Amino acid sequence: MKLHARLFVLMAPPVAAMLMAFSCSLLSGKTAVLWTDRPEFAFYAAEFNTVQDQYKIEVRYFDSPARELVRQGDHPDIVAGSWLKSASTRAFFKPLDRFFGKDFSAFYPRLLAMGSIDDKQFLLPVSFNIPALIFARDKAGLLSNPFTIGFAEMKQLGRDYNIEKDGVYTRMGFSPVWDDNFLFITAVLFRVSFREAEPLAWDAIALERAMSFVYDWINEVNTGSQAGEDFYFKYFYQPPERLALSERILFTYMGSDEFFTLPEERQGSLDFRWIAENGSIPLAESAVYLGLPKKGKAPNAASAFVRWFYQAETQRRLLEQSKDTRAIETSFGVSGGFSALRPVTEQIFPLFYPGLLGHMPPEDFLAPANILPGNWTTLKERVLLPYLRDRARSPDRRGVYPLERRLADWQRVNG
């Protein structure tokens, strides 16, 4: 029998119990609990647990870690997920300025700023995604810019691509109403500025301008929403990227995470441009951030994980292993997106995603989403997108049930 086991046998039961509890507390101090809505963090934690033997990370998955922070009395040591910047969640985190010697220059600055409050860094960005316009590679010569494309060029190229006879289209360049998320991106680029405010605020005048612009686009380029919808129902039984490759359409909308997980044979035949207006590329609202809750019980283990994870070499190894295990085929990049570390995205990503060569997004164009309510995903899907869809098809906002009333109805039902 080993010495420490013998000691427990010989001790009086209360003393042995006290020592056992002390031993467990030491062990728990070396094991940090991480809550996340990104399954990739289970892989990252397993790798961390393998490369060193001082600390351990245990991962627990929640659909909404932010909601769980508010709901549960017990708190984890690390949280990594979306929607952590809302007012109901920010108060749970402690400052992270001691990390990196206060030198955060490796991060994209505008992403970093979204996790800062009163000049203190409470959240660190992990990953982000970018909306893109996708097209067949052999059509790249039609576009004027190797990096971005704006609305005016989309409209003109779409109009030129259309083939129509007697009001029936057999080929259509692009329609804004094919994808609700494109309508949302249009509103963002018109500076509608959706933001958290009991629960949501926006610039109503900018929203009206954006949706009037979409309505005019549909009617000027594609002779109305009905023609575009008829075309959609007739041909979109195939994935839109296949329609682009077959020349049925010219453009389709897609997020970077979706594009870079397309099958390799399809992805290699496609090209893309980031959607931009007035020097701004709107980032997807679901950017992932990481924070350390104030009530965490294993601060040293949590700190060790953060320092390890935010090294360019660590993220390069994680990408290598993702490629070796073929996880890269279903999950893009780091935590489902571009890395928030500039050297990783700009220098390492093109090694794993050759399509990025010559297509890296201009850093000063990247525009993170505003701080949004923690229930943004549900609110967007059930309230905002249905309104944008209805308004884009109507010549006058007075003919559409107002967004303010939809929001009030939703709040009344959902508390």
CA 305 to chain centre: 22
For every residue of 194-249, DSSP letters joined together read -EESTTEE--HHHHHHHHHHHHHHHHHHHSSHHHHHHHHHHHTTS-HHHHHHTTSB
- Element (H or E) spanning 342, and its range? helix 342-343
Domains 3-128+286-364 and 131-282+375-414 fall in the same CATH topology = yes
Tokens of 142: 């039609």
Mean pLDDT of the chain: 90
pLDDT tens figures, 284-315: 999 999 999 999 999 999 999 999 999 999 99
- Band of pLDDT at residue 11, cut at 50, 70 and 90: very low
Q: Is residue 104's pLDDT more than 70?
A: yes
Domain residue extents for the chain: 3-128+286-364, 131-282+375-414
Q: What is the mean pLDDT of residues 74-80?
A: 92
Range 178-182 average pLDDT? 95
> What's the confidence (pLDDT) of residue 17?
39
> What's the whole-number mean pLDDT along residues 196-211?
94
Determine the pLDDT at residue 415.
66
- pLDDT above 50 for 51: yes
pLDDT at 21 over 80: no
Q: Which CATH number fits domain 3-128+286-364: 3.50.50.60, 3.40.190.10, 1.10.3720.10, 3.40.50.970?
A: 3.40.190.10
Is the pLDDT reported for residue 145 higher than 70?
Answer: yes
Residue 45 CB partners (closer than 8 Å, separation 6+):
34, 57, 58, 59, 305
> Which CATH code fits 131-282+375-414?
3.40.190.10
User: Rounded to whole angstroms, how far apart are CA atoms 401 and 388?
Assistant: 11
Task: Give dist(CA 247, CA 356) in Å, integer.
Answer: 23
Would the pLDDT of 8 be above 90?
A: no
Counting residues of the chain whose pLDDT is more than 70, the rounded percentage is 93
Residue 209 has pLDDT above 70, yes or no: yes
Confidence of residue 5 (pLDDT cuts 50, 70, 90): very low
Q: What are the residues whose beta carbons fall under 8 Å from the beta carbon of 279, sequence distance 6 or more?
A: 364, 365
Res 135: pLDDT: 98
Is the pLDDT assigned to residue 131 strictly greater than 60?
yes
pTM: 0.90
Per-residue tokens: 189: 């680029």
